[in-house]
Amino acid sequence: MSALPRCSSCRPRLPRPKHGLIRPRCLATEVSSGSVTIPAESTPTVGKVKIYDTIRTSVILNRSPFLTRPLSRFEQAFYAYQQRIQRALHNPFPYEFYFKQGSLLESKFNAEERRRERMAFGAPFGISESQEGSENKSQNAKESVAEALDREEEEKIPRRGEADRTNDVRSLERKGERNLYLLLLKKLDDRQVWRLPEGGLQKGEVLHESAERNLLTECGIRMDTWIVSRNPIGLYRSSTSNQVSPRHIFFYKAHILAGQVRPDGTNVLDYAWLTKEEMEDRLDKEYWLGLKDILSDN
C-alpha cells in the first residue's frame, strides 16, 4: 500500500520534517566527521565494515493515531452538560445576518436546530411542527428536500475497519485512535524473541544515522520514515548472561508516514504493530521494564 487511508472528517496529520533533508534511500553507510560515540572493544565482523557491538541503537517506530480518541462516559456526560448550559445561556444568535428569509439554507438550519434542541433537552423541546399548522407545510417540504440532499452527500467511513474485526496485527490501520509501535520477531541463538528494530554502530557513524540505517536494514526500504530528533530518547543497559560485555541500547523515536515493513526473513521472521499493552505480553520482562516508560499511554 502506498499511503495510510484516512477518514476525511477526522485526520490529525503527522508532523513534517523540520528542515527537509531528504536522505537517500540506500544502505551504504555515510562517513561523517566527528563521531560522537566512544569506540569500545570491537567484535570481529563480517565484511570490511567494523561494527561496534557494545553500543547499539534501536528505533521505536511509531504510527500516530489518525482517529480522535473516543470519549469516556464521564467525558460525554460532561460535554453534553456544558453544551446544554451554553445552549440555554448563549447570546442570541443573529439569524437574519446569516440566513436569508425563506432560503433553503435557513430551512435546513432550522431542522437541524430543532433536532439538536430535542437531543439536548428532551422531548418537549424542539418539536414545533404539530403546533404550527398548515402554514409550515411548504417549509416542511423544503426541509425534507434539504435532508434528502444531505443524506446523499454524507457517507462516513466506519471507525472499526476490517483490520480491527480480524485483529490483524500486521496491519497499520488497526486501532486508529491509539499509538502503534513496531515489534519484530527475531531469531536469537535458537530462540525467537520479540524485539524492537536494533543494530550496532559502524565506524565513523553518528548515533542517529546508525539508528536509521539499522531500521532500514531490519525492516526493508519500502517505508517512509522520519526519525524525530538527533538525540536518543532513552537508554537501556542489559546484562544478559549470554553476552560477554553489557550492552547499551540507545532508543530513537521515528514515525512511519507511508509504506509497510518487509522483513528479509533471515534474522527477522515476523513483525507486528502493537499498542503499549499488547507489547507487554510479548516482550521479556527486563526489556519491557526498561522500555515501558518511554512509550505513550494513548
Partner 1 sequence: RMMDHYYNTLRDDLMYMTYLHEPGPRKPPRQIRLKYDPEDPYTKNRVNPPVGGSQVGRKPAPPTSWDNVVQLERIQIHTMVKEALSSRVNLLGPIMMLRALSGETQYGGGRHTSEGVQVVRGVKTVGGWIRPGLPVGAKVDLKGPKMYDFLGTLTEFVLPRLREFPGFVMPAPSAQHFTPSSVSGVISVGLPPEAMGLFPQIEVNLDAYPGTYGMHIHFITNAEGQGAQNKARALLSGLQVPF
146-to-67, 110, 129, 200 alpha-carbon distances in Å: 29, 11, 16, 63
- Residue 285 binds to partner 1 (criterion: CB under 8 A): no
At its nearest, how many Å lie between partner 1 and the CB of residue 269?
30
Indicate whether 228 belongs to the interface with partner 1 (CB under 8 A). Answer: yes
By CB neighbour count within 10 A (0-12 exposed, 13-18 middle, 19+ buried), where does 242 fall?
exposed
- Measured from the CB atom, the residue of 73 and 90 that comes closer to partner 1 is 90
Number of residues that bind partner 1 (CB under 8 A): 29
Q: Does 121 bind partner 1 (CB under 8 A)?
A: no
Is 18 one of the binding residues for partner 1 (CB under 8 A)?
Answer: yes
CA distances from 95 to 76, 102, 140, 144 (A): 29, 12, 19, 21
For residues 155 to 174, the per-residue mask of contacts with partner 1, x marking binding by CB under 8 A and - elsewhere, is --------------------
Pairing status of strand 51-63 against strand 247-259: parallel
CA-nearest of 120, 119, 94, 90 to 106 is 94
Told to check if 229 binds partner 1 by CB under 8 A, we report: yes
- Binding status of residue 207 toward partner 1 by CB under 8 A: no
Segments in 70-219 forming alpha helices (H): 73-89, 95-98, 104-121, 129-132, 137-153, 162-166, 207-219
Question: Cβ atoms within 10 A of the Cβ of 133, count?
Answer: 8
Q: What is the largest CA-CA distance in the chain?
A: 92
Q: Which is nearer to partner 1, 45 or 229 (CB)?
A: 229
Among 80, 85, 145, 235, binds partner 1 (CB under 8 A): 85
The answer to the question of residue 103 lying near partner 1 (CB under 8 A) is no
CB of 186 to partner 1, least distance (A): 26
Q: Which stretch binds partner 1 (CB under 8 A): 86-94, 166-174, 272-280, 281-289?
A: 86-94
Please report whether residue 221 would count as binding partner 1 according to CB under 8 A.
Answer: no
Helix (H) or strand (E) holding 287: helix 285-291
Q: Which stretch binds partner 1 (CB under 8 A): 32-40, 97-105, 148-156, 278-286?
A: 97-105
Q: Least separation, in Å, of the C-beta of 158 and partner 1? A: 18
- Give CA torsion, residues 188, 189, 193, 199, to 10 deg: -20
Report whether 230 contacts 211 (CB < 8 A): no
Q: Quick check: 231 binds partner 1 (CB under 8 A)?
A: yes
The yes or no reply on residue 235 touching partner 1 (CB under 8 A) is no
16 makes contact with partner 1 (CB under 8 A): yes
Chain residues that interact with partner 1, rule: CB under 8 A: 10-16, 18, 64-65, 68-69, 85-86, 89-91, 97-98, 105, 179, 228-229, 231, 233, 253, 255, 296, 298
